[in-house]
Amino acid sequence: MHEENAEYRKIECTMCGWETLLDFSGVFEWLVKFGILKPNHDIGDDLVYELFHGMAERYQCPDCASPKLELSVVLDDFSDVEAQRCRGCEMVIPRERLEVVPGTKYCVFCQEKLDKGQPLPIQAEYCPVCGKKMELIRDHESRHGDFKWVCLSDPPCRYRKK
């Protein structure tokens, strides 16, 4: 079941028209992406939202790199559409997409990757040492073709996890 109302943050680019809706986890990932928070921070919801709006001058459009983004709060009472999460990235699929493509199981980003034959993103893993994003790579030292998580920090902290 849903909460009575869900609160989203809407980001719109005034230059190219790109837009997205972010739930709390999307806002948190956005702050990590722009280096404002480390992924393993445990802070309250109110502070996350305050940081999100307070650091708006750092954001750029992912399509055109314009810094002219407008932020707003969107409330959804779920009266018209049942909220669904993307099977690829687990983000909430925006209501508008569900209205246009009823029954969809993927957000626009993941569906485009599937249409191009690209693999869907694996849930991100973050380095417990430095907090940077880690990448899943094939372990060439393994005889069985195993994979391992490797920290992408620069300078490298060299953390590895099988």
CA distance 130 to 144: 29
Q: Which long-range contacts (CB under 8 A, 24 or more apart) does 58-63 make?
A: 58/34, 59/11, 59/30, 59/34, 61/13, 61/15, 61/16, 61/18, 62/18, 63/13, 63/16, 63/18
For residues 120 and 152, the answer to whether their CB atoms sit within 8 Å is no
When the pLDDT of each residue in the chain is averaged and rounded to a whole number, the result is 77
Same domain, 24 and 78: yes
For 40-53, what is each residue's pLDDT tens digit? 777 888 888 888 88
Same domain, 100 and 147: no
When divided into structural domains, the chain yields a total of 2
Same domain, 53 and 100: yes
- Give φ, ψ of 97 to 5 degrees: -65, -40
Same domain, 136 and 95: no
- At residue 33, the pLDDT reads 85
For residues 149 and 125, the answer to whether their CB atoms sit within 8 Å is yes
Q: Is the pLDDT of residue 56 over 70?
A: yes
Q: Is the pLDDT of residue 69 over 70?
A: yes
Same domain, 49 and 110: yes
Neighbours of 148 (CB within 10 A): 16
Higher pLDDT, 55 or 6: 55
120 assigned to some structural domain: no
CA distance 133 to 130: 9
- At residue 123, the pLDDT reads 59
For 80-107, what is each residue's pLDDT tens digit? 555 677 777 767 788 788 888 888 888 8
- At residue 5, the pLDDT reads 54
Same domain, 68 and 94: yes
Q: What domain range is 132 assigned to?
A: 125-161
- At residue 13, the pLDDT reads 92
Instruction: Provide the pLDDT confidence category of residue 12 given band limits of 50, 70 and 90.
Output: very high
